[in-house]
Amino acid sequence: MANTELTSKTATPLTRSVDGFKRALNSDLFYSFKHSPVTIVAMAVTLLIIFTSVFANLVAPHNPFDVATMNLLDSELPPVWAEMGDPKYLLGTDNLGRDVFSTILYGSRVSLFVGFTSVVLSMVIGIALGLIAGYKGGLIDAFIMRVAEIQLSFPTILVALLINGVMRGVLPPSQHAELAVLVLVLSIGLSNWVQFARTVRASTLVERNKEYVLAARLIGVKPLFIMIRHVLPNVMGPILVIATLGLASAVLTEATLSFLGVGVPPTEPSLGTLINVGSDYLFSGSWWITIFPGAALAILVLAVNLVGDWLRDALNPKLR
C-alpha cells in the first residue's frame, strides 16, 4: 500500500517481492486452484478466448469485414468435414460467404468488450453507492437500497431493454448504429449495479462495526479514508466473485439484446447478432451459421461461470 517505499528501507525490494510471490503460491486460494482440474481448464479456456479475440485480426484466417475478399459464390458452405466443405473455411461460411470461424473470433471481441466495460461500469457505480449506503446509513442508505430493491425486482434483461429503448428514443435515429455499442454498455452496466451495491453494503455493514474500523475512527481517520483504506480491501473478495459471474451474465445479456434486435448491428456483429442472423437459415438446413457462434458463446460463458463459481467457494471461509 502507501508504505512501499518505506518498507524497502528495512528489507530489499527483491526479497520482499519474492516473499510476496511465495505467499501467493502458498495461499489457500492457489492451493484450491491447483486441486481443481475443472477450474484450471475453465481458466485456460477463458484466457484462450480472451487472447484470440483480442488479437482476432492476427489469429483469424480471413477478415470477414473486408468486402474485397468476400465471395458470394462461397456462401453457405458447410464445415470442412461435411461433404461440400471447403478446406479454406474450417467451420463453413455464412449467407454472405464470410468465414464462420473468423466471424466468431471478431464477434467474441465485440461481446467481450461490451461485457468487460459494462461490468466495470456497474462495479464502479455499485461499489460507490454500496460503500456510501453501508457506511453512512440513515436516509441515504434507505433511499439507495429502496431504489436498488425496486430495480432488482425487474430482471436485468428488462431494465436493459428499457434503458435501451429510452436511449434510442432520445438519440436521433441516424446515430443508432454508430452508438449501438455505447448504448449497450450503458444499458447493461446500469442494469447490473444493484448486485454490487447490495453485496458491498452488506459487507460494509459488517466491517463498519468491526473493532478495527472503530480503532481507525478513534485515531481520527476520515470516513472517506476509512472506506477506501480499511473497508474496501476487506470486501474485495465478494466483489471479485460478483464481477466474474457478472461478466458471464453481461456477455449473455449482450447476446440476448443483440438477438432481440436492439443490440449490436449486423455490420459489426457480436456473437448474439451472429446467432440472430444465422437462425433464419436454420430451417433451410445451414445449421452451422448459428450453432457455432452459439457454441462459442456457451463455452465462453460456461468457462467464466466455472471460474466464478470456484472463486466463490474458495473465498467463502464457511465452506472450507
Partner 1 sequence: MFKFIAGRLVQSIFVMLFVGAIAFTLFQFVGDPVEQMVGQDTTQAERDELRERLGLNDPLIVQFARFAGNMATGDFGFSYQHKRPVSQLIAERLPATMELAGLSIILALMVGIPLGVYTGLHRYGVASKVIMTLSLIGVSLPTFLIGILFIYLFSVILGWLPSFGRGEVVNLGGWTTGFLTLSGWKAIILPAITLALFQMTLVMRLVRAEMLEVMRTDYIKFARARGISNRAVQFRHALKNTLVPVITIIGLQLGTVIAFAIITETVFQWPGMGRLFLQGIRAVDIPIMSAYLVMIAFFFVIINLIVDILYYVVDPRLRVDRAGGAN
Partner 2 sequence: MALLNIQDMRIEFPSRQGTVEAVKGISLEVNGGEIVGVVGESGAGKSTIGNAVIGLLEAPGRMTGGEVSLHGERIDNLPFQTLQKIRGRKIGMIFQDPLTSLNPLFTVGQQLVETVRTHIDMSESEARKRAIEMLEEVGIDDAENRVDQYPHQFSGGMRQRVVIALALCAEPDLVIADEPTTALDVSIQAQILDLIRNLCKTRNVGVIIITHDMGVIAEITDRVAVMYRGKIVELGETAQVLGRPEHPYTKSLMAAVPRSDVKLDRFPRVTYSDGEVKQSQHIDLKSHWLGENRNTYTNTEGPLVRCENISMRFTSRYSLIPSWRQYFNAVDDVSFDIKRGEIFGVVGESGSGKSTIARMISGLYTPSKGKIYFDGTSVSDLKTDKELDPFRRQIQMIFQDPYSSLNPRMRVFDVIAEPIRHHRLAESKDQIAQIVEDLLEHVELGRAAAWKYPHEFSGGQRQRISIARALATRPRFLICDEPTSALDVSIQAQILNLLKDLQQALGLTMLFISHDLPVIRQMCDRVAVMQYGKLVEVAETEALFTNPQQDYTKRLLELMPTLNFEAAV
Smallest gap from Cβ 42 to partner 2, in A, equals 22
Q: Choose which of 50, 54, 205, 216 interacts with partner 2 (CB under 8 A).
A: 216
What does 1 interact with, of partner 1, partner 2, none (CB < 5 to 8 A by kind)? partner 2
Residues in 222-241 that interact with partner 2 by CB under 8 A = 222, 230, 233-234
Q: Is 86 in the site for partner 1 (CB under 8 A)?
A: no
Q: What is the 3-state secondary structure (H, E, C) of the chain?
A: CCCHHHHCCCCCHHHHHHHHHHHHHHCHHHHHHHCCHHHHHHHHHHHHHHHHHHCHHHHCCCCCCCHHHCCHHHCCCCCCCCCCCCCCCCCCECCCCCEHHHHHHHHHHHHHHHHHHHHHHHHHHHHHHHHHHHHHCHHHHHHHHHHHHHHHHCCHHHHHHHHHHHHHHHCCHHHCCCCHHHHHHHHHHHHCHHHHHHHHHHHHHHHHCCHHHHHHHHHCCCHHHHHHHHHHHHHHHHHHHHHHHHHHHHHHHHHHHHHCCCCCCCCCCCHHHHHHHHHCCCCCCCCHHHHHHHHHHHHHHHHHHHHHHHHHHHHCHHHC
Span interacting with partner 1, options 99-107, 121-129, 165-173, 194-202, rule CB under 8 A: 165-173
Nearer to partner 2, 165 or 233 (CB): 233
Q: Choose which of 20, 61, 165, 233 interacts with partner 1 (CB under 8 A).
A: 165
Q: Choose which of 28, 149, 178, 280 interacts with partner 2 (CB under 8 A).
A: 28
Nearer to partner 2, 3 or 153 (CB): 3
Binding string, residues 269-308; x marks residues near partner 1 by CB under 8 A: ---x--x---x--xx---x--x---x--xx--xx--xx--
Q: Is 217 in the site for partner 2 (CB under 8 A)?
A: yes
Which residues here bind partner 2, judged by CB under 8 A? 1-3, 5-7, 9-11, 28, 31, 210-212, 214-222, 230, 233-234
Which residues here bind partner 1, judged by CB under 8 A? 146-147, 150, 152-155, 157-158, 161-162, 164-166, 168-170, 248, 252, 255-256, 259-262, 272, 275, 279, 282-283, 287, 290, 294, 297-298, 301-302, 305-306, 309, 318-319
